[in-house]
Amino acid sequence: MAFDEPTIAEILRRQGISRRGFLKFCATTASLMALPPSMVPAIAAALEKARRPSVIWLSFQECTGCTESLTRSHTPSIEGLILEQISLDYHHTLQAASGEAAEAAREAAMRENHGKYLLVVDGSIPMGNAGYSTIAGVSNLDMLKETAAGAAAVIAVGSCAAYGGLPAALPNPTGAVPVSAIIKDKPVMNVPGCPPIPVVITGVLAHFLTFAALPELDDHGRPKVFYGESIHDRCYRRPFYDQGKFAETFDDEGARKGWCLFKLGCKGPVTYNACATTKWNQGVSFPIQSGHGCIGCSEPGFWDMGPLYKPLSMPIAPVQMMVGAAAAGGAIAGAAMAMRNRAAKKSAQAAHQKVTVEDLEKAK
Amino acid sequence: MTALELLTWARGPGLSIALAVCAFGILLRLFEIFGLGRKADLSRPRDHSPGSGWRTIVSRSLPPPGMVKQAPVTYIGGYVFHLGFAITLFFFVPHIELVRGLTGLSWPGLPTQLIDIAAVAGLLALIAVLASRLSNPVKRFLSGFQDYLAWLLTFLPLATGYLAFHHLLIDYTLALALHVLSVELLLVALPFTKLFHTVSVFVSRWYNGDIFGRKGVAS
Amino acid sequence: MPSTDTGAEHGNALPILNEIRHALARLIESGETTVIDLGALPLGPQDEAELFAALGEGEVEATIHAGGPSSVRETAFHGVWLLTHRNEAGETLARFIEVAFVPELLMSQAEDVADSAAALAKKLKPAQNGRTLK
């Protein structure tokens, strides 16, 4: 990121984009970053100065679903993102180079942009045997530490990098941990989801390149603009929850009418994400709109958070046997107590001595 | 531990433990109480009073003449709380889902706006009866630790449920977890405190009515 | 994944219409414009249809060709504009309702006007030297 490099605004201008086009870009960027339209002038001013940041993307124990998601972004498109807005210097799946040339590109980017580049990580890091996951013979842990050392900030993309995800699900055979468990001395932002919404990934990147800083984060290290409200609160079916109208099965009248999916196990009330407003596939739909409850994929440890199709208020494990046994135990204990009480009463009766007036007179 | 993990614990092991303790306790107390036995009453009943026990169940559930005026907070507050609590408990859809999950039984719920009114009424009534208990010297004299404990254990589920539903003060997931945990506390304490009246109230009313009937003051 | 929602009434369009009503009042009183990002609001398929049906079609329709086509359309309510930004591939990037006398983006921007003035001057220079303009 040398300073003779053009700013984002200059790059757009060189492509023949007018001020009007630039303002349109700012307006769609504001929408992308989930910022209010009133922020457009501030975004325009920031983009006048912003330069393309160098981005290094590391993939550890992951399924490439997050990268698949990234490539589905339409605003900005992955091409637009890489050509105009960021300098993606290392990404296994997207880069043309391989082997030593790829690693050399990573090292060069780290050297040239020391202290300024953005590190994006998807996948969790195995703390068990280092050989569980390596890149170019380097363990994930070592590569993360080495690459994070010179980064301005780290973005953990996807539930695996943010919380451990599937690899960390019980019994966690590889000892998988999230990025935040290892990197303590850098700002770490979590962008959870399995995968995260494409435009949320590009949205946080846009935020970093626009304002050269991470957006405001919540307690779980998530950007508040995207993860500030629950699916349930932003769900267009919420009015049905309030009216007490629920789908009871996936093909009943209620389901056809688009009623609330709470009873079918929707985790919308405890899931914080932007699905209900940003939606997926260019804003076409999201799971609830397609008739399936939210499974809560962007919450910590969601793999171990109970059955997907049980309502939130239902018990997770069957309790009938245990309660039955406890009731039987209570009955036995109660009967034993009753018998003891009766025995005590009987013995008191047996020990009872009759006292006559004569006895009392004698005692005088 | 995250809020969701706490909620998961509350919905899983926490609920199992609470229900088990509650079931154990209720059966224990019922066996203990019914096992006590009563001395055979050898005297001839004063009146022939069939059904006195059953009538007392109803009559003691209604305020004696003049008492509503004399102790309005106790009576009105008591009714409003019990009704509000029962409506909230039995007609809020997530609660019905819980019962369905445990027993397979279910019934139609009420719109959340009505539940909301019932819950607020219940909460206000609870606050009013506590204020009256604290300000009235006789009531305060008669109150012990257990009375305040019972009040708190009943207040917490309503309050946390209200906070959770309206997303007030704390994050919803945490509020829901605390709500479930507060109910579990209530379940655990229920058999061993005055809260046991949930199970025993009509039994003792029947017994009192019946015994007084025999003694000549049938209701 | 196509939507399976057959479109029951959710009533989510009504609050937006009320917000527009307030925005119009502000526009008349103080000239303040309001922009509402439709991407930030919970809208079911039926809600969207309801909203657009309620707003109706107005007198003005324009297309901006800058970084992909953007359509700007006045609704049946004067001063209430619907903006849809698309990229070169025609995919919708963002949708806004702008309550204004004229949407900001329809106006020519000062920077662009300055560039154009310079360009025109440059073009006319040879003409002043006695040559004809092509």
Q: In tens digits, what is the pLDDT along chain A, a chain of 364 residues? A: 445 678 888 888 888 888 888 888 889 888 888 888 888 889 888 888 888 889 999 999 999 999 999 988 877 777 777 777 888 899 988 888 888 999 999 999 999 999 999 999 999 999 999 899 999 999 999 999 999 999 999 999 999 999 999 999 999 999 999 999 999 999 999 999 999 999 899 889 888 888 888 999 998 899 999 999 899 989 999 989 888 889 999 999 999 999 999 989 999 999 999 999 889 988 889 999 999 999 999 998 888 888 899 888 888 777 888 888 888 998 899 888 888 888 888 888 888 888 888 888 887 6
Structure tokens at A283: 């804003």
Q: C130 pLDDT exceeds 60? A: no
CATH number at residue A275: 4.10.480.10
Dist CA A323 CA B109 (whole Å):
26
State residue B218's pLDDT score. 65
Domain count, chain A: 2
Under 8 Å CB pairs connecting chains A and C tally to 118
Cβ pair B16:A334 closer than 8 A: no
Contact by Cβ (8 Å): A239, A260: no
Q: ipTM for the complex? A: 0.85
Lowest model confidence (mean pLDDT) among A297-301, B29-33, B166-170: B166-170
Q: Domain boundary at A226, A248, A281, which?
A: A226
Residues A108 and A209 in one domain: yes
Lowest model confidence (mean pLDDT) among A288-302, B40-54, B132-146: B40-54
Chain A residues 66-105 within an 8 A CB cutoff of chain C: 74-75, 77
Q: Which residues of B touch A312 (CB under 8 A)?
A: 11, 94, 176
Domain count, chain C: 1
Residues A57 and A152 in one domain: yes
Smallest Cβ–Cβ distance between C109 and the set A23, A36, A256 belongs to A23
Average pLDDT over residues C40-57: 88
Residues A159 and A181 in one domain: yes
* Residue B167 contacts A where some CB pair is shorter than 8 Å: yes
A29 within a domain of the structure (yes/no) = no
Domain carrying residue C53: 13-105
Dist CA B191 CA B195 (whole Å):
7
In Å, how far is A346's CA from the nearest CA of chain B?
A: 12
State residue C52's pLDDT score. 92
Domain boundaries, chain B: 3-29+67-214
What's the mean per-residue pLDDT of chain B?
89
* Residue B4 contacts A where some CB pair is shorter than 8 Å: yes
Cβ pair A335:B8 closer than 8 A: no
- The pTM (predicted TM-score) of the whole model is 0.80
The full DSSP string for chain C is: ------------HHHHHHHHHHHHHHHHHH---EEEEGGGS---HHHHHHHHHHH---S-EEEEESSSEEEEEE-SSTTEEEEEEE-TT--EEEEEEEESSS-GGGSPPHHHHHHHHHHHHHHHHHHHTTPPP-
A173 within a domain of the structure (yes/no) = yes
- According to the 3-state scheme, what is the secondary structure of A159-180? HHHHHCHHHHCCCCCCCEECHH
Q: Domain boundary at A189, A205, A226, which?
A: A226
Contact by Cβ (8 Å): A246, A313: no
Vertex A136: Cα angle to A133 and A166 (nearest 5)? 20
CATH number at residue C78: 3.30.1370.140
Residues A96 and A72 in one domain: yes
Q: How confident is the model at residue B48 (pLDDT cuts 50, 70, 90)?
A: low
C123 within a domain of the structure (yes/no) = no
Residues A219 and A93 in one domain: yes
What pairing do the DSSP bridges indicate for beta strands A151-157 and A188-191? parallel
Tell me if the domain spanning B3-29+67-214 has CATH number 1.20.950.20.
yes
Mutate: best of C33, C85, C93, C102, partner A, most A CBs <10 A: C93
Q: What is the pLDDT of residues C7-23, one digit of tens each?
A: 456 778 899 999 999 99
A13 within a domain of the structure (yes/no) = no
C111 within a domain of the structure (yes/no) = no
**CA dist list (Å): B92 to A83, A230, B174, C2:** 54, 20, 19, 33
C125 within a domain of the structure (yes/no) = no
In Å, how far is B120's CA from the nearest CA of chain A?
A: 16
* Residue B112 contacts A where some CB pair is shorter than 8 Å: yes
Q: What are the b/e assignments for B195-216, b being 16+ CB within 10 Å?
A: bbeeebebeebbebbbebbbee
* Residue B139 contacts A where some CB pair is shorter than 8 Å: no
Chains B and C touch (3+ CB pairs under 8 A): no
C119 within a domain of the structure (yes/no) = no
**Whole-number percent of chain C with pLDDT over 70:** 87
SS3 A57: strand
Residue identified by tokens 């509350």 is: B10
C19 within a domain of the structure (yes/no) = yes
A343 within a domain of the structure (yes/no) = no
A82 within a domain of the structure (yes/no) = yes
Cα A207 from chain centroid (whole Å):
18
Cβ pair A304:B112 closer than 8 A: no
Structure tokens at B29: 């107390």
Cβ pair B24:A327 closer than 8 A: yes
Residues A59 and A207 in one domain: yes
C57 within a domain of the structure (yes/no) = yes
Residues A176 and A247 in one domain: no
Domain carrying residue A301: 231-329
Q: Which residues of A touch B9 (CB under 8 A)?
A: none
C6 within a domain of the structure (yes/no) = no
- According to the 3-state scheme, what is the secondary structure of A8-29? HHHHHHHCCCCHHHHHHHHHHH
A358 within a domain of the structure (yes/no) = no
Smallest Cβ–Cβ distance between A290 and the set C1, C39, C70 belongs to C1
* Residue A220 contacts B where some CB pair is shorter than 8 Å: yes
C70 within a domain of the structure (yes/no) = yes
Q: Which residues of A touch B29 (CB under 8 A)?
A: 334
